[in-house]
Structure 1
């Protein structure tokens, strides 16, 4: 029975980490959209290109 609890604990920890990673990724994505909007409003092309590149990378990983 002890092995079962260790396995369940490990699975729960892994699941919690997956949810945490997803939340962090979603938060960063939302911030990137806001920063991209600001860069567009300012006409800041270098920032826009850097931010959209980061957004594409983030989306390709998720």
Structure 2
């Protein structure tokens, strides 16, 4: 029973970390969209290029959300 609890807590911690990472990524992407709009309005080509490169990099990162959360939810139901 103790080992199952530790495993559950580890999985819950990983799920929380993944959610937090996703929230930070989405916040930065929203911020980048605003900064890109500003760079376009100011016709700042260097900033536009730098910001769009960062946005492309962020958008291409792999995000796994739901499967981990589903596992944690199923585990919590079994206790």
TM-score, length-scaled by structure 1? 0.98
- Name the CA distance, whole Å, in 2 between partners of 1:57 and 1:31: 14
Shift of 1:48: 0.2
Which residue of the partner structure matches residue 48 of structure 2? 48
Cα deviation, residue 39, structure 1: 0.2
Task: Provide the aligned C-alpha RMSD in A.
Answer: 0.6
Q: Could you tell me which runs of 5 or more consecutive residues in structure 2 were left unpaired when the two chains were aligned.
A: 63-79
Please identify runs of 4+ aligned residues in structure 1 that moved more than 6 A: none
Mapping for residues 1-62 of structure 1, pairs under 5 Å: 1-62=1-62
Measure how far apart 1:9 and its partner are: 0.1
Q: Which has the higher contact order (CA 8 A, sep 6+)?
A: 2
Q: How many residues align?
A: 62
Which protein is richer in helix relative to its size? 1
> How far apart, in 2, do the equivalents of 1:58 and 1:42 lie?
24
